Amino acid sequence: MNLMKTFAVAALFASLSTSVLALPSLRENVVVTAEIVTVGDMFDDAGALAELAMFRAPKPGTTGIVDLGAVTHAAKIIGLTEFENVGIARVRVSRAATIIDQTTLGELITDDLINRGIVASDVTPQLYFDKSDLSFNAEAVEQPVRLINVRYMPGSSSFEARFEIAGTDLPVDVAGRIDLMVEAPHLVAPRPAAPFSPPATSR
């Protein structure tokens, strides 16, 4: 019985020693989705400090480099005085992004015009943006882009739209023209003309 107690006590001390010695371990490559880099982002086994903020994240779709000195300084400020480092001199911090292109923007504009009854449901708006290479890096969230408003007058070929892109401070304005396409019946294949027969005359 005493032997079993001895083993139990030894196991308890071993467990406590392991938990005490398990220091947070610095990561060399970090990918975040939010605008703040936390201790849990920068270190494995961050424990109770995991949710504390350390740095501002780079803009969506970009990468920043943080040197070891900056990491050490920021860690000390929040009470993390020791951590494991396996020779890492710089930490690469990347922020995930959702690509917002002109196809996504066009779909939002089209849905808005149809839902407001400005364009009939049997009409297909064909949008052409003034800038053909529109592309934005939005924060990787559930709603990365939101249409604020569309300026379009029926009968006009031009439009202006304003969007809110997640992760950017200012709204984004775009402009272009709209061609309204209506389905019309057409021949599947050409048909030969019927031969002409003059009307019969009576005598």
Query: Are residue 40 and residue 85 in the same domain, yes or no?
Result: yes
Q: Kindly report the average pLDDT of the chain as a whole number.
A: 85
Residues 133 and 162 occupy one common structural domain: yes
Task: Give a yes or no: residue 12 inside a domain.
Answer: no
**Which band of pLDDT confidence, cut at 50, 70 and 90, is reported for residue 9?**
very low
Q: Is the dihedral of CA 74, 76, 80, 83 positive or negative?
A: positive
**154 shares its domain with 120:** yes
Identify the top-confidence range among 10-14, 20-24, 136-140. Answer: 136-140
Rounded distance between C-alpha atoms, residue 1 and residue 202, angstroms:
132
Rounded CA-CA distance 49/99 in Å is 32
- 95, 113, 128 — which closes off a domain? 95
The C-alpha atoms of residue 161 and residue 104 are separated, in whole angstroms, by 13
In-domain check, residue 190: no
Q: Is residue 65 part of a domain?
A: yes
The boundaries of the domain holding residue 30 are: 23-95
How many distinct structural domains can be found in the chain? 2
25 alpha carbon, distance to own chain's centre: 29
pLDDT tens digit string along 137-184? 999 999 999 999 999 988 888 999 999 999 988 999 999 999 987 765
106/149 same-domain check = yes
pLDDT higher than 50, residue 6: no
Among 95, 110, 137, the domain boundary falls at 95
| Pair 57, 40 in one domain | yes
pLDDT of residue 40: 97
Are both 166 and 137 inside the same structural domain?
yes
Which pLDDT score, from 0 to 100, does residue 202 have? 58
> Rounded mean pLDDT of 46-74?
96
- Regarding whether 177 and 110 lie in a shared domain, the answer is yes
Q: Do the beta carbons of residue 137 and residue 97 sit within 8 Å?
A: yes
Distance in Å from the first CA to the final CA of the chain? 136
Closest CA to 33 of 142, 172, 163, 146: 142
Task: Provide the pLDDT confidence category of residue 19 given band limits of 50, 70 and 90.
Answer: very low
Residues 112 and 168 both lie in one domain: yes
CATH number of the domain to which 72 belongs: 3.10.129.70
